[in-house]
Structure 1
Amino acid sequence: MRVVSGKFGSRSLKPVPGSKTRPTTDKVKESLFNMIGPFFNGGTFLDLYAGSGSVAIEAVSRGIDKAILVDHQYLAIKTIKENVEMTKEKDSFQVYKMDSDLALEKFSNDNAKFDFIFLDPPYKDQKMVEQLEYIKKSSLLQENGIVICETDDNVNLQDDVDGFSLIKQKKYGITIISIYKIKG
């Protein structure tokens, strides 16, 4: 596992030990960033199920100003902190050990706004539709912000989730990347 491109490109990242976390492959990560824009001029990125932190680190490597990483698992948080340390840019990251729903509530209470929100929960624990609805209701996205959902081919996300429109979707093996924008 590595950073694919940008200022941290080719640097190795540690995976989360054990089998509780499924990392996004380098191929899927590269494709995801090709779909949303290969490089950025600032912005904020929320990774709600951060695992090793590789997707958020990739976002900062490609020009995102600030990445917020959330995971509820101790080993994931430990790994994220080690991987963030490798960047030598700790100020570009905020790491939270908490449940995803509690994190969304916290960010809503803080009036936080994100340009990108990445949802990649454990495939067996899908609650993306509910979280998309909460993101919309709580106004957590910037005006032109997007939500990126990573699922497997057993999860059937609708083209239009209440208040959102599907703008892109691609399949990579059993992995599906769906990108949503708020309607209107």
Structure 2
Amino acid sequence: MPRRNNHRSRRPAAPVAQSSVRIIGGEWRGRKLDFPAIEGLRPTPDRVRETLFNWLQAYLPGARCLDLFSGSGALGLEALSRGAASVTFVDQAPEVINQLRSNLNTLKAQNAELIGQSVPTWLEQRATNEEVRYDLVFIDPPFNKGMAGPVCALLEQHRLLADEALIYLETETGLQLDQLPANWQPYREKQAGQVTYRLFMRQPGQ
């Protein structure tokens, strides 16, 4: 008699639920793009992005950008749409990187780099003498994880910033920022509900 296969067939993994985000300005204005609806992923709201990119309007053309904790990619994609020279997206979730790759292909974007790695690990591995110095950095870490301060410190320690780089930081309201580099000067700040968002300008030579 043939031997019976007692191994249960594996069910295919359930597809990851999808949400969408809309690009609000620039070349791809109005385009809706999917992102995985995974726990903790919360795109920067439209009204916050509208304010932020009004602040950044004069600085975006030709800027080299870094989008940390990319998530939906809303900030980096918005920057590309509005004339940034390049964006490096960093996120540890494979679902995020796969969807960003698909969205970049859909948009035919040629000036983006995808890094599938945890943000602190990637920053710690960067050599301080690498040529790329970013003009604009977006930092939108998971809330209540204590990651904002250490990530900001690593950016400065590893010399990843241009002399007058702009740094956008989005955190839970009430977070005490005790580890910010001394040469990051506050430039803009607003609050929307439970979110506080700030823009800093790096002062060179300090």
TM-score normalised per structure 1: 0.90
- Residue 162 of structure 1 aligns to which amino acid in structure 2? A
- Count of residues in correspondence between the two structures: 183
Tell which structure's C-alpha radius of gyration is larger: 2
Give the aligned partner of residue 123 of structure 2: 104
Q: 2:63 aligns with which of 27, 37, 43?
A: 43
Corresponding residue of 1:93: 112
Q: Summarize the Cα distance change of 1:7–1:38 in structure 2 as closer, same or farther, 3 Å threshold.
A: farther
Partner of 2:134 in structure 1?
A: 114
Distance in 2 of aligned mates of 1:28 and 1:78: 26
Residue in 2 that maps onto 1:167: 187
Q: Distance in 2 between matches of 1:118 and 1:101?
A: 14
Q: State the alpha-carbon separation in 2 of the partners of residues 162 and 113 from structure 1.
A: 19
Q: Which amino acid aligns with 2:142?
A: P
Asked if residue 4 in structure 1 is aligned to residue 63 in structure 2, the reply is no
Structure 1 residue 22: Cα displacement: 1.4
Q: Which whole-Å CA distance do the structure 2 matches of 1:174 and 1:58 have between them?
A: 23
**More off after superposition, 104-113 vs 56-65:** 104-113
Alignment of 1:29-68 (within 5 A): 29-37=49-57, 40-68=60-88
Once structures 1 and 2 are overlaid, which stretch shifts more, 138-147 or 68-77? 138-147
Match of 2:156 among 127, 136, 161: 136
What CA distance in whole angstroms lies between the structure 1 residues aligned with 2:190 and 2:33? 25
Letter in 2 for 1:175: V
Give the CA deviation at 1:41.
1.9
User: 8 Å contact 1:160–1:166 — kept in the other structure?
Assistant: no
Q: 2-side partners of 1:76 and 1:163: how far apart? A: 32
Aligned CA-pair RMSD: 2.0
* Partners of 2:155 and 2:32 in 1: CA distance: 32
Which runs of at least 4 in structure 1 moved beyond 6 Å after TM superposition?
none
TM-score, with length taken from structure 2: 0.81
Gaps of 5+ in 1: none
Higher-helix-fraction structure = 1
Q: Quick one: structure 1 residues 54 and 115, their matched pair in 2 at CA, closer, same or farther if it must change by over 3 Å?
A: same
Residues 1:182 and 2:202 aligned together: yes
Aligned-residue identity in percent: 24
CA offset digits 1:61-113 (Å, max 9, x no partner): 00101000000011111121122122112x21100100101221344453421
Alpha carbons 2:66, 2:136 under 8 Å: kept: yes
Compared with structure 1, are the counterparts of its residues 20 and 128 closer, same or farther at alpha carbon in structure 2 (3 Å cutoff)? closer
